[in-house]
Structure 1
Amino acid sequence: METNYLQQIQEAAEWIRERLDGLVPQIGLVLGSGLGDMANQVEAPLTIAYNEIPHFPVSTVEGHAGQFVIGTLEGKSVIVMQGRFHYYEGYSMKKVVFPIYVMKQLGVQSLVITNAAGGMNREFQAGDLMLISDHLNMTGDNPLIGFNHPELGVRFPDMSEAYNREYRALTKRIAESMRQEQSAIRLQEGVYSGISGPSYLPPAELTMLARLGGDAVGMSTVGEVAAARHCGLKVLGISCITDMAIGEELEPLTHEQVVAVANRTKPMFIELVRRFVAQVNV
Protein backbone atom coordinates (compact mmCIF):
# COMPACT_ATOMS: atom_id res chain seq x y z
CA MET A 1 0.00 0.00 0.00
CA GLU A 2 2.87 2.38 0.79
CA THR A 3 4.18 2.44 -2.79
CA ASN A 4 0.71 2.84 -4.29
CA TYR A 5 -0.62 5.40 -1.79
CA LEU A 6 0.20 8.49 -3.86
CA GLN A 7 -1.12 6.87 -7.02
CA GLN A 8 -4.37 5.95 -5.29
CA ILE A 9 -4.82 9.53 -4.04
CA GLN A 10 -4.22 10.90 -7.53
CA GLU A 11 -6.61 8.41 -9.14
CA ALA A 12 -9.37 9.19 -6.63
CA ALA A 13 -8.88 12.94 -7.12
CA GLU A 14 -8.91 12.62 -10.90
CA TRP A 15 -12.11 10.55 -10.80
CA ILE A 16 -13.81 13.27 -8.76
CA ARG A 17 -12.32 16.11 -10.85
CA GLU A 18 -13.86 14.67 -14.01
CA ARG A 19 -17.30 15.19 -12.44
CA LEU A 20 -16.78 18.77 -11.21
CA ASP A 21 -17.26 20.55 -14.55
CA GLY A 22 -14.28 22.82 -13.88
CA LEU A 23 -15.16 23.68 -10.27
CA VAL A 24 -12.08 23.92 -8.03
CA PRO A 25 -12.98 23.61 -4.32
CA GLN A 26 -11.34 26.26 -2.12
CA ILE A 27 -12.48 25.06 1.30
CA GLY A 28 -12.92 21.53 2.62
CA LEU A 29 -15.29 20.75 5.48
CA VAL A 30 -15.25 17.54 7.52
CA LEU A 31 -18.52 17.06 9.41
CA GLY A 32 -18.63 14.93 12.57
CA SER A 33 -21.37 12.92 14.27
CA GLY A 34 -24.76 14.64 14.13
CA LEU A 35 -23.39 17.65 12.24
CA GLY A 36 -23.91 16.42 8.68
CA ASP A 37 -26.87 18.73 7.99
CA MET A 38 -24.36 21.51 7.35
CA ALA A 39 -24.03 19.94 3.88
CA ASN A 40 -27.64 20.91 3.15
CA GLN A 41 -26.50 24.55 3.04
CA VAL A 42 -24.38 23.93 -0.08
CA GLU A 43 -25.78 25.53 -3.25
CA ALA A 44 -25.91 23.73 -6.61
CA PRO A 45 -24.68 20.57 -4.90
CA LEU A 46 -23.07 17.59 -6.56
CA THR A 47 -23.29 14.52 -4.32
CA ILE A 48 -20.81 11.66 -4.64
CA ALA A 49 -21.08 8.58 -2.43
CA TYR A 50 -17.76 7.42 -1.02
CA ASN A 51 -18.35 3.89 -2.26
CA GLU A 52 -18.34 5.16 -5.86
CA ILE A 53 -14.85 6.68 -5.62
CA PRO A 54 -11.83 4.52 -6.48
CA HIS A 55 -9.76 3.41 -3.44
CA PHE A 56 -12.08 5.16 -0.96
CA PRO A 57 -13.08 3.60 2.36
CA VAL A 58 -16.75 3.54 3.41
CA SER A 59 -18.14 5.20 6.55
CA THR A 60 -19.95 2.72 8.82
CA VAL A 61 -21.00 4.95 11.73
CA GLU A 62 -24.54 6.12 12.50
CA GLY A 63 -24.86 9.86 11.91
CA HIS A 64 -22.36 9.79 9.01
CA ALA A 65 -24.01 9.90 5.56
CA GLY A 66 -20.87 8.73 3.77
CA GLN A 67 -20.66 11.14 0.84
CA PHE A 68 -19.05 14.25 -0.58
CA VAL A 69 -21.26 17.27 -1.24
CA ILE A 70 -19.58 19.72 -3.61
CA GLY A 71 -20.79 23.16 -4.65
CA THR A 72 -20.79 26.72 -3.33
CA LEU A 73 -21.36 28.16 0.15
CA GLU A 74 -21.41 31.90 0.86
CA GLY A 75 -19.91 32.54 -2.56
CA LYS A 76 -16.97 30.15 -2.14
CA SER A 77 -16.47 26.74 -3.69
CA VAL A 78 -16.52 23.96 -1.09
CA ILE A 79 -16.21 20.22 -0.79
CA VAL A 80 -17.97 18.79 2.25
CA MET A 81 -17.31 15.40 3.81
CA GLN A 82 -20.71 14.39 5.13
CA GLY A 83 -19.30 11.75 7.41
CA ARG A 84 -15.71 10.68 8.00
CA PHE A 85 -13.67 7.55 8.67
CA HIS A 86 -12.35 6.43 12.03
CA TYR A 87 -9.41 4.38 13.21
CA TYR A 88 -11.78 2.29 15.35
CA GLU A 89 -13.66 1.13 12.24
CA GLY A 90 -10.61 -0.98 11.47
CA TYR A 91 -9.06 1.28 8.86
CA SER A 92 -5.36 2.10 8.97
CA MET A 93 -4.56 5.66 9.91
CA LYS A 94 -3.38 6.24 6.33
CA LYS A 95 -6.81 5.18 5.05
CA VAL A 96 -8.55 7.41 7.61
CA VAL A 97 -6.76 10.50 6.26
CA PHE A 98 -6.91 9.49 2.58
CA PRO A 99 -9.74 11.99 1.83
CA ILE A 100 -7.69 14.88 3.23
CA TYR A 101 -4.99 14.33 0.62
CA VAL A 102 -7.63 13.89 -2.09
CA MET A 103 -9.19 17.26 -1.20
CA LYS A 104 -5.75 18.88 -1.37
CA GLN A 105 -5.21 17.39 -4.83
CA LEU A 106 -8.55 18.88 -5.92
CA GLY A 107 -7.39 22.39 -4.97
CA VAL A 108 -8.51 22.85 -1.36
CA GLN A 109 -6.37 25.31 0.64
CA SER A 110 -8.34 25.57 3.89
CA LEU A 111 -9.92 22.85 6.01
CA VAL A 112 -12.74 23.20 8.56
CA ILE A 113 -12.76 20.05 10.65
CA THR A 114 -15.50 19.32 13.17
CA ASN A 115 -16.35 16.61 15.66
CA ALA A 116 -18.57 15.63 18.56
CA ALA A 117 -16.60 15.50 21.80
CA GLY A 118 -16.95 14.99 25.52
CA GLY A 119 -16.12 18.00 27.68
CA MET A 120 -13.42 17.44 30.32
CA ASN A 121 -13.13 21.10 31.30
CA ARG A 122 -15.44 21.86 34.23
CA GLU A 123 -16.19 25.30 32.76
CA PHE A 124 -17.86 23.66 29.75
CA GLN A 125 -21.40 22.35 29.41
CA ALA A 126 -23.18 20.11 26.92
CA GLY A 127 -24.18 22.15 23.87
CA ASP A 128 -21.08 24.36 23.88
CA LEU A 129 -18.87 24.69 20.83
CA MET A 130 -15.11 24.47 21.43
CA LEU A 131 -12.59 26.13 19.18
CA ILE A 132 -9.66 23.71 19.03
CA SER A 133 -6.41 25.47 19.91
CA ASP A 134 -4.24 22.34 19.94
CA HIS A 135 -4.51 18.59 20.39
CA LEU A 136 -3.16 15.54 22.17
CA ASN A 137 -2.77 12.52 19.90
CA MET A 138 -3.55 9.62 22.23
CA THR A 139 -4.48 7.14 19.49
CA GLY A 140 -1.12 5.41 19.55
CA ASP A 141 -0.69 5.96 15.80
CA ASN A 142 0.21 8.64 13.27
CA PRO A 143 -0.77 8.65 9.58
CA LEU A 144 2.69 9.90 8.59
CA ILE A 145 4.48 6.77 9.81
CA GLY A 146 6.08 4.88 6.96
CA PHE A 147 7.26 5.95 3.52
CA ASN A 148 6.95 9.70 2.87
CA HIS A 149 5.88 10.88 -0.57
CA PRO A 150 7.58 14.26 -1.13
CA GLU A 151 4.75 15.13 -3.52
CA LEU A 152 2.41 15.18 -0.51
CA GLY A 153 4.59 16.94 2.03
CA VAL A 154 7.88 17.04 3.89
CA ARG A 155 9.14 14.14 6.01
CA PHE A 156 8.91 16.10 9.30
CA PRO A 157 6.01 18.59 9.09
CA ASP A 158 5.84 21.39 11.64
CA MET A 159 2.90 21.24 14.08
CA SER A 160 3.65 24.36 16.14
CA GLU A 161 0.46 25.92 14.74
CA ALA A 162 -1.65 22.90 13.85
CA TYR A 163 -4.82 25.01 14.15
CA ASN A 164 -4.43 28.29 12.31
CA ARG A 165 -4.15 31.27 14.67
CA GLU A 166 -5.81 33.73 12.29
CA TYR A 167 -8.72 31.38 11.66
CA ARG A 168 -9.27 31.01 15.40
CA ALA A 169 -9.22 34.77 15.92
CA LEU A 170 -11.73 35.27 13.10
CA THR A 171 -14.04 32.61 14.56
CA LYS A 172 -13.96 34.26 17.99
CA ARG A 173 -14.90 37.59 16.42
CA ILE A 174 -17.79 35.95 14.58
CA ALA A 175 -19.05 34.29 17.77
CA GLU A 176 -18.93 37.60 19.60
CA SER A 177 -20.93 39.21 16.80
CA MET A 178 -23.50 36.42 17.06
CA ARG A 179 -23.77 36.95 20.82
CA GLN A 180 -24.42 40.66 20.27
CA GLU A 181 -27.27 39.62 17.99
CA GLN A 182 -28.83 37.74 20.95
CA SER A 183 -27.54 34.33 19.86
CA ALA A 184 -27.23 31.74 22.62
CA ILE A 185 -23.89 30.54 21.24
CA ARG A 186 -21.26 29.54 23.82
CA LEU A 187 -17.84 29.28 22.15
CA GLN A 188 -15.12 27.84 24.33
CA GLU A 189 -11.49 27.26 23.37
CA GLY A 190 -9.27 24.38 24.35
CA VAL A 191 -7.19 21.29 23.66
CA TYR A 192 -8.77 18.28 21.95
CA SER A 193 -7.65 14.82 23.08
CA GLY A 194 -7.93 12.27 20.28
CA ILE A 195 -8.31 8.64 21.32
CA SER A 196 -8.65 5.47 19.26
CA GLY A 197 -12.05 4.36 20.59
CA PRO A 198 -14.52 2.80 20.08
CA SER A 199 -15.18 2.43 23.80
CA TYR A 200 -15.83 5.54 25.83
CA LEU A 201 -13.10 6.11 28.38
CA PRO A 202 -13.27 5.00 32.02
CA PRO A 203 -13.03 7.61 34.78
CA ALA A 204 -9.31 7.10 35.49
CA GLU A 205 -8.31 7.71 31.86
CA LEU A 206 -10.51 10.82 31.61
CA THR A 207 -8.92 12.19 34.77
CA MET A 208 -5.47 11.46 33.31
CA LEU A 209 -6.24 13.30 30.05
CA ALA A 210 -7.64 16.31 31.92
CA ARG A 211 -4.47 16.48 34.03
CA LEU A 212 -2.39 16.32 30.84
CA GLY A 213 -4.15 19.45 29.61
CA GLY A 214 -7.06 18.09 27.59
CA ASP A 215 -10.31 20.05 27.56
CA ALA A 216 -12.35 17.72 25.34
CA VAL A 217 -12.05 14.12 24.16
CA GLY A 218 -13.13 12.36 20.99
CA MET A 219 -12.32 9.60 18.51
CA SER A 220 -11.24 11.51 15.41
CA THR A 221 -9.53 14.65 14.07
CA VAL A 222 -5.92 14.31 15.27
CA GLY A 223 -4.79 12.11 12.39
CA GLU A 224 -6.66 14.20 9.84
CA VAL A 225 -5.04 17.39 11.14
CA ALA A 226 -1.57 15.82 10.97
CA ALA A 227 -2.23 14.93 7.32
CA ALA A 228 -3.69 18.37 6.60
CA ARG A 229 -0.62 20.12 7.96
CA HIS A 230 1.62 17.63 6.13
CA CYS A 231 0.13 18.70 2.79
CA GLY A 232 0.00 22.41 3.65
CA LEU A 233 -3.67 23.00 4.49
CA LYS A 234 -4.67 25.69 6.97
CA VAL A 235 -6.98 24.22 9.59
CA LEU A 236 -9.89 25.45 11.71
CA GLY A 237 -11.12 22.90 14.24
CA ILE A 238 -14.45 23.04 16.12
CA SER A 239 -15.79 20.50 18.61
CA CYS A 240 -19.44 20.21 19.57
CA ILE A 241 -19.46 19.37 23.29
CA THR A 242 -22.18 16.74 23.42
CA ASP A 243 -21.69 15.50 26.99
CA MET A 244 -19.57 16.10 30.06
CA ALA A 245 -16.73 13.61 30.52
CA ILE A 246 -15.51 14.51 34.00
CA GLY A 247 -13.71 11.44 35.35
CA GLU A 248 -14.79 11.94 38.94
CA GLU A 249 -18.45 12.52 37.96
CA LEU A 250 -18.86 10.22 34.98
CA GLU A 251 -22.31 8.98 34.01
CA PRO A 252 -23.26 6.31 31.42
CA LEU A 253 -23.32 7.53 27.79
CA THR A 254 -24.62 6.23 24.45
CA HIS A 255 -23.87 7.29 20.86
CA GLU A 256 -27.56 8.18 20.47
CA GLN A 257 -27.21 10.75 23.28
CA VAL A 258 -24.17 12.24 21.56
CA VAL A 259 -26.02 12.62 18.25
CA ALA A 260 -29.10 14.09 19.99
CA VAL A 261 -27.10 16.92 21.60
CA ALA A 262 -25.23 17.57 18.34
CA ASN A 263 -28.61 17.88 16.60
CA ARG A 264 -29.77 20.51 19.11
CA THR A 265 -26.56 22.49 18.64
CA LYS A 266 -26.67 22.39 14.83
CA PRO A 267 -28.32 25.78 14.17
CA MET A 268 -25.57 27.70 16.01
CA PHE A 269 -22.86 25.50 14.54
CA ILE A 270 -24.16 26.00 10.99
CA GLU A 271 -24.42 29.76 11.41
CA LEU A 272 -20.89 29.99 12.84
CA VAL A 273 -19.39 27.96 9.99
CA ARG A 274 -21.36 29.81 7.32
CA ARG A 275 -20.06 33.15 8.57
CA PHE A 276 -16.52 31.80 8.78
CA VAL A 277 -16.67 30.60 5.16
CA ALA A 278 -18.07 33.96 4.09
CA GLN A 279 -15.36 35.99 5.80
CA VAL A 280 -12.20 33.88 5.55
CA ASN A 281 -9.57 34.76 2.98
CA VAL A 282 -8.43 31.72 1.00
Structure 2
Amino acid sequence: MYEKIQETASWLRQRMTTSPTTAIILGTGLGQLASEITDKKEIPYAEIPNFPVSTVEGHSGKLIFGKLGGVDILAMQGRFHYYEGYSMKEVTFPIRVMYELGIKTLFVSNAAGGMNPQFNIGDLMIITDHINFFPEHPLRGKNYPTGPRFPDMHETYDKNLIQLAANIAYEKKIRVKFGVYIGLQGPTFETPAEYKMYHMMGADAVGMSTVPEVIVAHHCGIRTFGISVITDLGGFDNPVEVSHEEVQEAANAAQPFMTEIMREMIVRSEKVTSQKQENFNTDHPTEKWK
Protein backbone atom coordinates (compact mmCIF):
# COMPACT_ATOMS: atom_id res chain seq x y z
CA MET A 1 0.00 0.00 0.00
CA TYR A 2 2.82 2.43 0.82
CA GLU A 3 4.22 1.98 -2.69
CA LYS A 4 0.78 2.86 -4.11
CA ILE A 5 0.62 5.97 -1.94
CA GLN A 6 3.97 7.14 -3.27
CA GLU A 7 2.98 6.29 -6.83
CA THR A 8 -0.21 8.33 -6.55
CA ALA A 9 1.59 11.26 -4.92
CA SER A 10 4.20 11.24 -7.68
CA TRP A 11 1.48 11.21 -10.37
CA LEU A 12 -0.31 14.17 -8.74
CA ARG A 13 2.90 16.10 -8.13
CA GLN A 14 3.51 16.20 -11.88
CA ARG A 15 0.07 17.78 -12.38
CA MET A 16 -0.09 20.19 -9.43
CA THR A 17 -0.47 23.86 -10.32
CA THR A 18 0.06 25.14 -6.76
CA SER A 19 2.16 24.21 -3.74
CA PRO A 20 -0.42 23.72 -0.97
CA THR A 21 0.29 23.01 2.68
CA THR A 22 -3.43 23.25 3.55
CA ALA A 23 -6.07 20.69 2.57
CA ILE A 24 -9.85 20.61 2.95
CA ILE A 25 -12.21 17.68 2.83
CA LEU A 26 -15.34 19.31 1.43
CA GLY A 27 -17.82 17.15 3.29
CA THR A 28 -21.43 17.97 4.04
CA GLY A 29 -21.93 21.69 4.58
CA LEU A 30 -18.88 22.86 2.64
CA GLY A 31 -19.89 22.17 -0.95
CA GLN A 32 -20.21 25.81 -1.92
CA LEU A 33 -16.66 26.55 -0.81
CA ALA A 34 -15.48 24.78 -3.96
CA SER A 35 -17.02 27.56 -6.07
CA GLU A 36 -14.80 30.12 -4.32
CA ILE A 37 -11.56 28.37 -5.23
CA THR A 38 -9.72 30.24 -7.99
CA ASP A 39 -6.99 29.14 -10.42
CA LYS A 40 -8.52 25.69 -10.23
CA LYS A 41 -7.21 22.46 -11.64
CA GLU A 42 -9.74 19.67 -11.11
CA ILE A 43 -8.85 15.99 -11.36
CA PRO A 44 -11.67 13.40 -11.13
CA TYR A 45 -10.93 10.57 -8.72
CA ALA A 46 -11.49 8.08 -11.53
CA GLU A 47 -8.41 9.44 -13.32
CA ILE A 48 -6.08 9.25 -10.30
CA PRO A 49 -4.05 6.02 -10.01
CA ASN A 50 -5.06 3.85 -7.01
CA PHE A 51 -7.75 6.30 -5.85
CA PRO A 52 -11.14 4.98 -4.69
CA VAL A 53 -14.29 6.49 -6.25
CA SER A 54 -17.03 8.07 -4.11
CA THR A 55 -20.46 6.45 -4.49
CA VAL A 56 -22.53 8.68 -2.20
CA GLU A 57 -25.12 11.14 -3.49
CA GLY A 58 -23.92 14.71 -2.97
CA HIS A 59 -20.21 13.82 -3.13
CA SER A 60 -18.77 14.91 -6.49
CA GLY A 61 -15.56 12.92 -6.48
CA LYS A 62 -12.68 15.12 -7.59
CA LEU A 63 -9.44 16.58 -6.30
CA ILE A 64 -9.03 20.35 -6.67
CA PHE A 65 -5.78 22.31 -6.67
CA GLY A 66 -6.17 26.08 -6.50
CA LYS A 67 -6.26 29.17 -4.30
CA LEU A 68 -8.67 30.37 -1.63
CA GLY A 69 -8.16 33.93 -0.42
CA GLY A 70 -4.70 33.86 -1.97
CA VAL A 71 -3.74 30.68 -0.08
CA ASP A 72 -2.69 27.60 -2.03
CA ILE A 73 -5.00 24.73 -1.14
CA LEU A 74 -5.80 21.14 -1.99
CA ALA A 75 -9.50 20.21 -1.73
CA MET A 76 -11.22 16.85 -1.76
CA GLN A 77 -14.72 17.26 -3.16
CA GLY A 78 -16.22 14.01 -1.95
CA ARG A 79 -14.85 11.58 0.61
CA PHE A 80 -14.86 7.82 1.07
CA HIS A 81 -16.79 5.97 3.76
CA TYR A 82 -16.34 2.64 5.49
CA TYR A 83 -20.01 1.79 4.85
CA GLU A 84 -19.41 1.93 1.09
CA GLY A 85 -17.41 -1.27 1.45
CA TYR A 86 -13.92 0.24 1.50
CA SER A 87 -11.29 -0.89 3.95
CA MET A 88 -9.90 1.66 6.37
CA LYS A 89 -6.69 1.74 4.34
CA GLU A 90 -8.75 2.83 1.32
CA VAL A 91 -10.86 5.32 3.29
CA THR A 92 -7.72 7.05 4.55
CA PHE A 93 -5.63 6.62 1.40
CA PRO A 94 -6.08 10.30 0.35
CA ILE A 95 -4.74 11.49 3.72
CA ARG A 96 -1.56 9.47 3.23
CA VAL A 97 -1.21 10.99 -0.23
CA MET A 98 -1.74 14.49 1.20
CA TYR A 99 1.14 13.95 3.60
CA GLU A 100 3.42 12.92 0.73
CA LEU A 101 2.40 16.11 -1.12
CA GLY A 102 3.45 18.31 1.82
CA ILE A 103 0.13 19.01 3.55
CA LYS A 104 0.57 20.35 7.09
CA THR A 105 -2.99 21.39 8.03
CA LEU A 106 -6.27 19.57 7.34
CA PHE A 107 -9.82 20.93 7.63
CA VAL A 108 -12.74 18.49 7.65
CA SER A 109 -16.51 18.87 7.81
CA ASN A 110 -19.41 16.48 8.17
CA ALA A 111 -23.11 16.06 8.85
CA ALA A 112 -23.93 14.71 12.30
CA GLY A 113 -26.86 13.76 14.45
CA GLY A 114 -27.11 15.82 17.61
CA MET A 115 -27.55 14.11 20.98
CA ASN A 116 -26.84 17.08 23.25
CA PRO A 117 -30.16 18.56 24.47
CA GLN A 118 -28.73 22.06 23.96
CA PHE A 119 -28.31 21.46 20.22
CA ASN A 120 -30.74 22.43 17.46
CA ILE A 121 -30.95 21.35 13.83
CA GLY A 122 -28.68 23.62 11.79
CA ASP A 123 -26.21 24.27 14.63
CA LEU A 124 -22.49 24.16 13.87
CA MET A 125 -20.45 22.08 16.30
CA ILE A 126 -16.70 22.57 16.47
CA ILE A 127 -15.19 19.17 17.25
CA THR A 128 -13.02 19.20 20.37
CA ASP A 129 -12.46 15.43 20.57
CA HIS A 130 -13.80 12.18 19.17
CA ILE A 131 -14.72 8.62 20.11
CA ASN A 132 -13.65 5.97 17.62
CA PHE A 133 -16.43 3.37 17.38
CA PHE A 134 -15.50 1.92 13.99
CA PRO A 135 -14.97 -1.86 13.96
CA GLU A 136 -11.64 -1.52 12.13
CA HIS A 137 -8.84 0.83 13.19
CA PRO A 138 -7.19 2.84 10.38
CA LEU A 139 -3.71 2.22 11.84
CA ARG A 140 -4.19 -1.55 12.14
CA GLY A 141 -1.45 -3.50 10.36
CA LYS A 142 2.12 -2.64 9.53
CA ASN A 143 3.08 0.79 10.84
CA TYR A 144 3.79 3.47 8.24
CA PRO A 145 7.01 5.47 8.69
CA THR A 146 5.02 8.71 9.08
CA GLY A 147 4.44 8.28 12.81
CA PRO A 148 4.94 6.09 15.89
CA ARG A 149 3.44 2.65 16.34
CA PHE A 150 1.41 3.91 19.33
CA PRO A 151 0.55 7.58 18.68
CA ASP A 152 -0.64 9.80 21.53
CA MET A 153 -4.18 11.11 20.97
CA HIS A 154 -4.51 13.74 23.69
CA GLU A 155 -4.75 16.69 21.29
CA THR A 156 -6.10 15.19 18.11
CA TYR A 157 -7.91 18.41 17.18
CA ASP A 158 -5.57 21.40 17.22
CA LYS A 159 -6.47 23.75 20.06
CA ASN A 160 -5.10 26.81 18.30
CA LEU A 161 -7.35 26.16 15.31
CA ILE A 162 -10.33 25.60 17.63
CA GLN A 163 -9.62 28.97 19.26
CA LEU A 164 -9.25 30.62 15.87
CA ALA A 165 -12.63 29.25 14.78
CA ALA A 166 -14.23 30.48 18.01
CA ASN A 167 -12.79 33.97 17.48
CA ILE A 168 -14.00 34.13 13.87
CA ALA A 169 -17.48 32.92 14.81
CA TYR A 170 -17.65 35.57 17.54
CA GLU A 171 -16.51 38.33 15.15
CA LYS A 172 -19.12 37.35 12.57
CA LYS A 173 -21.87 36.67 15.11
CA ILE A 174 -22.22 33.05 14.05
CA ARG A 175 -23.56 30.77 16.78
CA VAL A 176 -21.38 27.71 17.31
CA LYS A 177 -21.32 24.81 19.75
CA PHE A 178 -18.42 22.68 20.94
CA GLY A 179 -18.52 18.96 21.48
CA VAL A 180 -17.33 15.39 21.08
CA TYR A 181 -18.02 13.52 17.84
CA ILE A 182 -18.47 9.74 17.79
CA GLY A 183 -17.73 7.92 14.53
CA LEU A 184 -19.77 4.84 13.58
CA GLN A 185 -19.65 2.53 10.58
CA GLY A 186 -23.24 3.12 9.32
CA PRO A 187 -25.02 3.09 6.93
CA THR A 188 -28.10 3.01 9.18
CA PHE A 189 -29.02 6.02 11.24
CA GLU A 190 -29.09 5.34 14.97
CA THR A 191 -31.98 3.90 16.96
CA PRO A 192 -33.38 5.99 19.86
CA ALA A 193 -31.67 3.63 22.32
CA GLU A 194 -28.35 3.96 20.49
CA TYR A 195 -28.57 7.76 20.54
CA LYS A 196 -29.07 7.66 24.30
CA MET A 197 -26.22 5.20 24.81
CA TYR A 198 -23.72 7.23 22.76
CA HIS A 199 -24.65 10.41 24.63
CA MET A 200 -24.15 8.61 27.95
CA MET A 201 -20.70 7.58 26.67
CA GLY A 202 -19.78 11.27 26.34
CA ALA A 203 -20.61 12.08 22.73
CA ASP A 204 -22.52 15.19 21.63
CA ALA A 205 -22.88 14.30 17.95
CA VAL A 206 -22.71 11.13 15.86
CA GLY A 207 -21.70 10.50 12.26
CA MET A 208 -20.19 8.03 9.80
CA SER A 209 -16.95 9.72 8.74
CA THR A 210 -14.11 12.02 9.86
CA VAL A 211 -12.62 9.90 12.67
CA PRO A 212 -10.55 7.59 10.40
CA GLU A 213 -9.18 10.52 8.38
CA VAL A 214 -8.32 12.51 11.49
CA ILE A 215 -6.54 9.58 13.13
CA VAL A 216 -4.33 9.06 10.08
CA ALA A 217 -3.69 12.80 9.73
CA HIS A 218 -2.66 12.93 13.37
CA HIS A 219 -0.36 9.93 12.84
CA CYS A 220 1.28 11.88 10.02
CA GLY A 221 1.77 14.99 12.16
CA ILE A 222 -0.85 16.97 10.25
CA ARG A 223 -2.71 19.42 12.52
CA THR A 224 -6.45 19.04 12.15
CA PHE A 225 -9.67 21.01 12.58
CA GLY A 226 -13.14 19.48 12.35
CA ILE A 227 -16.65 20.92 12.29
CA SER A 228 -20.07 19.27 12.14
CA VAL A 229 -23.41 20.61 10.99
CA ILE A 230 -26.17 19.17 13.18
CA THR A 231 -28.68 17.86 10.66
CA ASP A 232 -30.94 15.80 12.92
CA LEU A 233 -31.56 15.15 16.60
CA GLY A 234 -31.92 11.89 18.55
CA GLY A 235 -32.02 10.35 21.99
CA PHE A 236 -34.83 12.54 23.30
CA ASP A 237 -38.33 11.68 24.47
CA ASN A 238 -39.90 12.35 21.07
CA PRO A 239 -37.81 10.52 18.43
CA VAL A 240 -37.93 11.93 14.90
CA GLU A 241 -37.38 9.86 11.76
CA VAL A 242 -34.56 11.08 9.52
CA SER A 243 -33.69 10.61 5.84
CA HIS A 244 -30.61 11.35 3.73
CA GLU A 245 -32.60 14.05 1.91
CA GLU A 246 -33.46 15.80 5.18
CA VAL A 247 -29.82 15.66 6.24
CA GLN A 248 -28.76 17.33 2.99
CA GLU A 249 -31.48 19.97 3.33
CA ALA A 250 -30.34 20.93 6.84
CA ALA A 251 -26.70 20.96 5.74
CA ASN A 252 -27.48 23.23 2.78
CA ALA A 253 -29.17 25.73 5.11
CA ALA A 254 -26.05 25.86 7.31
CA GLN A 255 -23.61 26.08 4.39
CA PRO A 256 -23.17 29.88 4.29
CA PHE A 257 -22.16 30.02 7.97
CA MET A 258 -19.82 27.04 7.81
CA THR A 259 -18.28 28.35 4.60
CA GLU A 260 -17.66 31.78 6.11
CA ILE A 261 -15.90 30.33 9.15
CA MET A 262 -13.82 27.92 7.10
CA ARG A 263 -12.83 30.51 4.50
CA GLU A 264 -11.55 32.88 7.17
CA MET A 265 -9.76 30.07 8.99
CA ILE A 266 -7.85 29.03 5.88
CA VAL A 267 -6.78 32.60 5.16
CA ARG A 268 -5.66 33.20 8.77
CA SER A 269 -4.45 29.73 9.75
CA GLU A 270 -0.94 30.14 8.39
CA LYS A 271 -0.40 32.71 11.14
CA VAL A 272 -1.46 30.21 13.80
CA THR A 273 1.35 28.12 15.20
CA SER A 274 0.96 24.53 16.30
CA GLN A 275 2.18 25.42 19.80
CA LYS A 276 -0.18 23.97 22.42
CA GLN A 277 -2.35 26.36 24.37
CA GLU A 278 -2.67 25.49 28.03
CA ASN A 279 -5.91 26.02 29.94
CA PHE A 280 -8.01 26.28 26.78
CA ASN A 281 -11.68 26.32 27.78
CA THR A 282 -14.32 25.77 25.13
CA ASP A 283 -17.04 26.90 27.55
CA HIS A 284 -15.74 30.47 27.44
CA PRO A 285 -16.59 31.40 23.82
CA THR A 286 -20.09 29.89 23.97
CA GLU A 287 -20.93 31.97 27.04
CA LYS A 288 -20.58 35.11 24.93
CA TRP A 289 -23.46 34.14 22.64
CA LYS A 290 -26.11 32.98 25.12
TM range (shorter): over 0.9
Could you tell me whether the CA contact under 8 Å between 1:228 and 1:234 is conserved in 2?
A: yes
| 1:35 Cα deviation after fit | 2.9
Q: Provide the residue aligned with 1:182 in structure 2.
A: none
Unaligned runs of 5+ in 2: 272-290
Residue identity matched to 2:255: K
| Aligned mate of 1:197, from 186, 189, 196 | 186
Q: 2:7 aligns with which of 11, 15, 25?
A: 11
Give % identity.
Answer: 47
- Which residue identity is paired with 1:214? A
Contact 2:182 2:203 in 1 (8 A): yes
Q: Is 1:273–2:262 an aligned residue pair? A: yes
Q: Partner of 2:164 in structure 1?
A: 170
| Partner AA of 1:136 in structure 2 | I
> How far, CA to CA, are the matches of 1:75 and 1:46 in structure 2?
15
Residue ranges of structure 1 left out of the alignment (5+ in a row):
180-184
1:200 and 1:48 map into 2 onto residues whose CA distance is 32
Of 130, 134, 157, 1:139 maps to 134
Give the residue type in structure 1 aligned to 2:194. Answer: E
Residues 207 and 248, structure 1, Cα contact 8 Å, conserved in 2: no
**Other structure's SS at 2:261 match:** helix
Pairs within 5 Å for 1:39-58: 39-58=34-53
Q: State how far apart, in whole Å, the 2-side matches of 1:214 and 1:261 are.
A: 21
Query: C-alpha distance in 2, partners of 1:203/1:220?
Result: 20
- Corresponding residue SS for 1:249: coil
- Indicate the SS of the match to 1:248: coil
Matched ranges for 1:1-282 at <5 A: 5-21=1-17, 23-150=18-145, 152-179=146-173, 185-281=174-270
Aligned residues: 271
Taking the aligned partners of 1:248 and 1:192, their CA distance within structure 2 comes to 21
Please report the TM-score for the alignment, with normalisation by the length of structure 2: 0.91
Q: Secondary structure at the match of 1:239?
A: strand
CA offsets 1:192-246 (integer angstroms, 9 cap, x no match): 0100000001111110000011000000011111100011100000001111122
- Report if aligned partners of 1:205, 1:247 keep a CA contact under 8 Å in 2: no
Offset from partner CA, 1:83-109 (integer Å, 9 cap, x none): 100000000011000001111111110
The code of the aligned residue for 1:144 comes to L
Task: Name the SS for the 1:196 alignment partner.
Answer: coil
Q: Distance in 1 between matches of 2:160 and 2:42?
A: 31
Query: Over aligned residue pairs, what C-alpha RMSD do you find?
Result: 1.1
Spell out, residue by residue over 1:113-138, the C-alpha distance to the aligned partner (whole angstroms, 9 max, x if none): 11010111110101111000000111
- Is the Cα–Cα contact under 8 Å of residues 133 and 183 in structure 2 kept in the other structure? yes
Paired AA for residue 231 in structure 2: T
